[in-house]
Structure 1
Amino acid sequence: MMPDGVQMRGLALGDAAGLAEALVRNREFMAPYEPARPGAFYTERGQRERIAGVLGERDAGRTVPYVLVAAATGTPVGTINLGSIVRGPLCSGGVGYWVDRAWNGKGLATAAVEEVCRVAREELGLHRVEAGTLLDNLASQRVLAKAGFEPYGVAPRYLHINGAWRDHRLFQRLLHDEPPPG
């Protein structure tokens, strides 16, 4: 259940302008946790191109993208994606998210992660969902712990974030122990 005043819905091309504005508004806040991005990423055109690629991945069954919007205005206040979906014996996906600085600490990220896990289990039949955070991203680690994730390791120099290869703590949430769908 999303916190009052927020809705979670499927990502659409029409979200490009609002996401560009939200990303510009949160650029400095998110910089320590994000890869270096070209200036075009923060434009409506850049977001439209990015969203088109994400929707192609959705259509191929490899990702399920959502946008978090303020219910009163429709303004994007974050995104969450279930990506890297693999079927077969692994039956897994990875979750990634960000929330507007003004909405931090209100339970939005935790609620969105919990909803994505529900979709992963009930609609997609996935066995597990994984996530990774920078070692010092304690806020995101709290979100994952509240959503039932457990740490299972550290990946050295995992992603190039904010100008350097950075270690990540890896988390997983096991959703069920049933065999993979036939």
Structure 2
Amino acid sequence: MTPTPVEINLHDDVVLRSLRTEDAAALAEAYRVNSEYLAPFEPLRPANFTTEAGQRTEIAALAANREAGTALPLVLAHGSRIIGRITLSAITRGAFQSGNLGYWIDRSYAGRGLMTAAVNEISRLAADELQLHRIQAGTLVDNVASQTVLRKCGFTEFGLAPRYLLIAGRWQDHRLFQKILTR
């Protein structure tokens, strides 16, 4: 099930919308500007990741996953500037009907409620458009800001996963959260 294109005004001209091929340059710039800020929360990236060509490759892979129905990649945009990403990935059908949520926001836009609004919207899309039963998100143990967003959006913590993901060059523990979308 491929979702329809998304474009939702979140607040003050910040739009949550589908990731597009033409976002490559703006997304590369967003990653360059925020590379130091995001480094503690992300996997180590190849050298070309913060280039337009590197982002074209990333976007092509995400677009293929979107067409296959296994991902919903979105961006937060303020005018022509990309200020964040939110992606529902590893969408699994059958008896599971679930997906994994990941997101980040530009340092200068953090703390304004924009990611909370975006997580609420992607949760709604996951339920209404994708007809998922559940979405899951993992945060580093000390990432209180992300945990706060998830809790505000109705996610509940359900476990601790030791050495869960290779982040910043080392296997790190994560708190696991879920939101049940169907009754």
CA deviation string 1:102-153 (max 9, x = no partner): 1000011111110000001011111111000000100000000001000000
Q: Which residue of 2 aligns with 1:69?
A: 77
Taking the aligned partners of 1:21 and 1:125, their CA distance within structure 2 comes to: 34
**1:47 maps to 2:47:** no
Deviation of 1:160 (Å): 0.7
Taking the aligned partners of 1:136 and 1:31, their CA distance within structure 2 comes to: 14
Which amino acid in 2 is paired with 1:36?
A: L
Q: 1:36 aligns with which of 44, 58, 67?
A: 44
Deviation of 1:38 (Å): 1.6
Q: Which residue of 2 aligns with 1:140?
A: 146
Q: Which blocks of at least 5 consecutive residues in structure 2 are unaligned? A: 1-8
Deviation of 1:94 (Å): 1.1
Taking the aligned partners of 1:123 and 1:38, their CA distance within structure 2 comes to: 34
Identical aligned pairs, as a percentage? 52
Alignment of 1:159-178 (within 5 A): 159-177=165-183
Q: Which residue of 1 aligns with 2:5?
A: none
Taking the aligned partners of 1:125 and 1:93, their CA distance within structure 2 comes to: 11
The normalised TM-score by structure 2 is: 0.94
Q: Which blocks of at least 5 consecutive residues in structure 1 are unaligned? A: 178-182
Taking the aligned partners of 1:62 and 1:17, their CA distance within structure 2 comes to: 25
The normalised TM-score by structure 1 is: 0.94
Which amino acid in 2 is paired with 1:16?
A: A
Greater CA drift, 2-11 or 145-154: 2-11
8 Å CA contact 1:3–1:107 kept in 2: the answer is no
CA deviation string 1:37-90 (max 9, x = no partner): 1220010000000100000000000001111100xx321000111111111111
SS at match of 1:94: strand
Taking the aligned partners of 2:42 and 2:112, their CA distance within structure 1 comes to: 22
Q: Which residue of 2 aligns with 1:8?
A: 16
